[in-house]
Amino acid sequence: MHNSSLENMQRCIDWYCPGGPIDVADLGSSDVNGSYRDFFGEHGNYTGIDLAPGPGVDIVLEDPNTLPFDDEKFDLILSGQMLEHSAQFWRVFTEMARVMKTEGMAFVIAPSAGPIHRYPVDCYRFYPDGFQALAEWSGLRLVHCWLDERGPWRDLVGVFQKGGAVSPRTAPLPQPAFLPWISDTPSAIAEKTQGSRPYLDVLADIHDLMRPDFYLEIGVRKGNSLAIASCQSIAIDPAPDLKNVADAVELYECTSDDFFFFHAESAISEKVDLAFIDGMHHVEFVLRDFMNLERYMGRGGVIVIDDVLPNHPSQASRKRETNVWCGDVWRIIETLTKWRPDLQLTLLDTSPTGMLIVRNLDPKNRTLWDKYNPVVRQLLSDAPDPPKSLLSRSEIDSPDREHICRVLGI
């Protein structure tokens, strides 16, 4: 199971999962690098179905094209990375419709690209028109369908319903209120900070030198960095704590993933000159933010990423243990260095937690999109401590205005 499939299935569940205790069938449930079973816990009666015994499998099919259940048995049917391995997928899909309750749902994820991977066969790739044809064939409704461009599989996601009146979601779900995290027993060593200039001062210099026409910020919190902008701006935060919003700012109260899914195409009316990423402190979120942003950046555009220089190993933990916290954002440095050597990366010694300036952006570059799943799998497979050179900042550039001018090519 690849990371983007888990993300897409979580999205389906959040948006369309039937309420109350439900009966769930998962076709192709063998736990290979992850399982959808974990999404349900005690809230669903989950049955894992596959062609061979294995972890996550409750029922082994005798006939790959026949489901051994009565009509209208399940409220929800899941199928991820299964349909391409079904030689007669239309027969399986008809069976899915048969055992689905009236007004029940099916969440189906199948690749539209990617290498041959036989389990035991690999027969097909799927496109939106194919899912629509399957809905018509089986008597279901295709409620929502989207193509995820992240490789190598570029998954097609389909939400189907048997009758019913569910409509496609067109806006993000409301987000819970932000709860500040404060340690009851802070450690002076673990909470230390360093840096030759405050990051807000450096960001103000960047604005002043670049004079952007269009600015985008992910993670606005109380709006201190957003207030620096004096141009048309987009601000994204699921739970902002702003006293007021300037007329030139368009605020989207949602996650950055939801912004780019629902709003970006219509909201970003011109190329972005300057962007600031200060959102979730996990490297995969920062990676997605960078990938999505780069597509909208203008010629000579700059992306600034905050929190890349933890001051203590505890500040670099994926699970928050300190008030001063970077998570594993620092790993975006190694990721971009390895996979995008065409980029110009500059680390600046800002307080409290460092800053990365990224230039030479290429909106048409697909490397990170095509490699997304193997890159994220590698990132999440281990949890190394940040190198001493980052912790000590022994090789980090000065953030003085003259150096910033050189970095920006001004």
Same domain, 209 and 138: no
pTM: 0.95
pLDDT of 387 over the 90 cut:
yes
Task: Answer yes or no: is 388 within a domain.
Answer: yes
Look up residue 407 and give its amino acid: V
From CA 277, how far away is CA 197, in angstroms rounded?
19
From CA 36, how far away is CA 30, in angstroms rounded?
10
Pairing of strands 249-252, 197-198: unpaired
Q: How many angstroms separate the Cα of 183 from the Cα of each of 97, 180, 284, 323? A: 51, 10, 25, 6
Question: For residue 126, what are the contacts with CB-CB under 8 A and spacing of at least 6?
Answer: 83, 84, 110, 111, 112, 156
Same domain, 134 and 204: no
From CA 228, how far away is CA 396, in angstroms rounded?
25
Task: Answer yes or no: is 353 within a domain.
Answer: yes
pLDDT of 44 over the 80 cut:
no
Residue with tokens 């807000």: 200
From CA 70, how far away is CA 48, in angstroms rounded?
16
From CA 39, how far away is CA 9, in angstroms rounded?
9
Q: Are 45 and 25 in contact (CB under 8 A)?
A: no
CB atoms within 10 A of CB 264: 19
SS3 helix, strand, coil % of the chain, rounded to 5? 30, 25, 50
Q: Based on C-alpha coordinates, what's the Rg of the chain?
A: 24
Same domain, 129 and 256: no
Task: Answer yes or no: is 285 within a domain.
Answer: yes
Same domain, 120 and 253: no
Given this model, what pLDDT does residue 339 score?
98
Task: Answer yes or no: is 174 within a domain.
Answer: no
Same domain, 265 and 380: yes
The closest of 61, 63, 72 to 101, measured between CA atoms, is 72
Same domain, 346 and 258: yes
Pairing of strands 214-218, 197-198: unpaired
Q: How many angstroms separate the Cα of 33 from the Cα of each of 3, 57, 153, 312, 387? A: 9, 14, 15, 31, 28
Same domain, 124 and 54: yes
Residue with tokens 């999962």: 17
Cis status, amide bond into 111, omega within 30 of 0: no
Same domain, 27 and 93: yes
Same domain, 110 and 258: no
Q: How many domains does the chain have?
A: 2
Of the residues 107, 133, 161, the one at which a domain ends: 161
Residue 117 in 3-state DSSP? coil
Of the residues 161, 176, 210, the one at which a domain ends: 161
From CA 112, how far away is CA 260, in angstroms rounded?
21
Of the residues 161, 186, 205, the one at which a domain ends: 161
Given this model, what pLDDT does residue 234 score?
98
pLDDT in tens, 80-113: 999 999 999 999 999 999 999 999 999 999 999 9
Same domain, 157 and 201: no
Q: Are 67 and 42 in contact (CB under 8 A)?
A: no
Q: Residue 239 belongs to what domain range?
A: 197-407
Given this model, what pLDDT does residue 175 score?
85
pLDDT of 276 over the 80 cut:
yes
Q: Are 373 and 2 in contact (CB under 8 A)?
A: yes
Residue 262 in 3-state DSSP? helix
Task: Answer yes or no: is 389 within a domain.
Answer: yes
pLDDT of 300 over the 70 cut:
yes
| For range 54-64, the mean pLDDT | 95
The residues that bridge with 105 in the sheet, in sequence order, are 76, 161
Question: For residue 225, what are the contacts with CB-CB under 8 A and spacing of at least 6?
Answer: 199, 200, 203, 217, 276, 278
Q: Are 330 and 347 in contact (CB under 8 A)?
A: no
Residue with tokens 């953030």: 399
Task: Answer yes or no: is 347 within a domain.
Answer: yes
Question: CA-based angle 383:279:255, to the nearest 5?
Answer: 110
Residue 321 tokens read as 């243990």
pLDDT in tens, 115-162: 999 989 999 999 999 999 999 999 999 999 999 999 999 999 999 999
Looking at every residue in the chain, the average pLDDT score rounds to 95
| For range 308-335, the mean pLDDT | 96
CB atoms within 10 A of CB 42: 7
Q: What is the CATH number of the domain that holds 141?
A: 3.40.50.150
Task: Answer yes or no: is 176 within a domain.
Answer: no
Given this model, what pLDDT does residue 34 score?
86
Same domain, 125 and 215: no
Given this model, what pLDDT does residue 33 score?
83
From CA 373, how far away is CA 117, in angstroms rounded?
15
Given this model, what pLDDT does residue 43 score?
67
CB atoms within 10 A of CB 52: 10
From CA 120, how far away is CA 398, in angstroms rounded?
56
Same domain, 263 and 317: yes
Helices 283-294 and 372-381 pack at an angle, to 10 degrees, of 160
Task: Answer yes or no: is 305 within a domain.
Answer: yes
